[in-house]
Amino acid sequence: MTEDELKELEFEQLADVNIGLSEYRDIYDKGLELISNESKPKELLLHILDDYQRRLDQIPAVDLSVTKLEQLDNKTREHIRSLILFGTQAALIKQNATARKELKEANQNYRDLLSVVTHEFKNSLTSIYGYNRIIKKRLEEGSVESILEINKHLDRLTRGLFGLVETLFSMSLLEQDKLEIDRKIFDIVENSLDPIINELELRLEQKVMKVKISANEDKNIYFGDERFFQLIFRNLIQNAIQYGYAGTDIEIEIKREPSRFVISIFNEGSGLAGTKLGRIFDKFSRFHNSK
């Protein structure tokens, strides 16, 4: 039952009773406080339910969509009013329980996200610090051996951190409805996909994974925002690396259709249960035990 439905019920059936929806909530809060302080809350709730069931049994068959309360005798009217109040309380309890459950899940997923982000930053910064120490030592020894290779690793790590920050910043703008689209003509592979593969090259190497691209056109020109394509590719490929089997390929297929592109990404991993598929795009969702 929605709040609008509660208000409609209040107006139709309790118009002559000096109590409103805010008072229902106040009664509900006081009721929760009483129950929480009760030594035997389960017995109390069962007693309340029994009492309302008894009142329900005493009410004659009445169609409230046709019959108005003022047409009934006082006893029946009071029974119906109390049941309406009870129904309103039950609806509020259900709404509150659902909201608490959703908030608890969101908070847990948010904490998981912070844990992952912290882990990613710590690992990358530790590697950057280590590479810088190596460079310092080589320079002090007057040697430039492998410095260009180290510089490549530093560049990838730095771009990876920039990418993570950009993803989080875009999420923040999206929540505030401030995310702006900067449309222009670009090539999906050259301008959006290849830079992300280069950015994640080190992580791919660590899991002995390769990205295989299959496109039915030499050029895949699109009019849109290449940054958002990069953000999507980054998230999907990162997930494929993180949850995919080591030594396997990530296959990306790009097909041009008359009025759109169809992009498919496939990787080998443990997969998800069918019951989880409807929530894979929910914010902060996580379905694997792996961190």
Residue 273 has pLDDT above 60, yes or no: yes
Residue 158 has pLDDT above 80, yes or no: yes
In angstroms, the CA 62 to CA 69 distance is 10
State the distance between the two ends of the chain, measured CA to CA, in whole angstroms: 38
Give the model's pLDDT for residue 10.
53
Residue 193 has pLDDT above 90, yes or no: yes
* DSSP state letter for 70: G
Name the more confident of 91 and 194.
194
- CA angle (126, 242, 114) in 5-degree steps: 60
Q: How many CA atoms lie within 13 A of 29 on its CB side?
A: 5
Q: Read off the pLDDT band of 163 (50, 70, 90).
A: confident
Give the model's pLDDT for residue 291.
40
Name the more confident of 92 and 281.
281
Return the CATH class of domain 186-279: alpha beta
The phi-psi region of residue 26 (left if phi > 0; otherwise alpha if psi is between -120 and 50; otherwise beta) is alpha
In angstroms, the CA 233 to CA 231 distance is 6
Give the model's pLDDT for residue 65.
62
Average pLDDT (195-207) is 87
Delimit the domains of the chain by residue range: 3-105, 186-279
- pTM, 2 dp: 0.53
What pLDDT digit, counting tens, does each position of 30-42 carry? 666 766 777 777 7
Buried b (16+ CB within 10 A) or exposed e, 255-291: ebeeeebebebebbeeeeeeeeeeeeeeeeeeeeeee
Beta carbons of 17 and 81 less than 8 angstroms apart: yes
3-class secondary-structure state, position 283? coil
What pLDDT digit, counting tens, does each position of 241-264 carry? 988 999 999 999 999 998 899 999
In angstroms, the CA 290 to CA 26 distance is 44
Give the model's pLDDT for residue 11.
53
Question: Which of the residue ranges 75-84, 104-113, 212-221, 245-254 would you say has the lowest mean pLDDT?
Answer: 75-84
Question: Across the chain, what does the average pLDDT equal?
Answer: 78
CA dist 211 → 184, 193, 194, 198, 242 (Å): 26, 10, 10, 10, 14
Task: List the strands of the sheet with 249-257, edge to edge.
Answer: 210-215, 249-257, 260-266
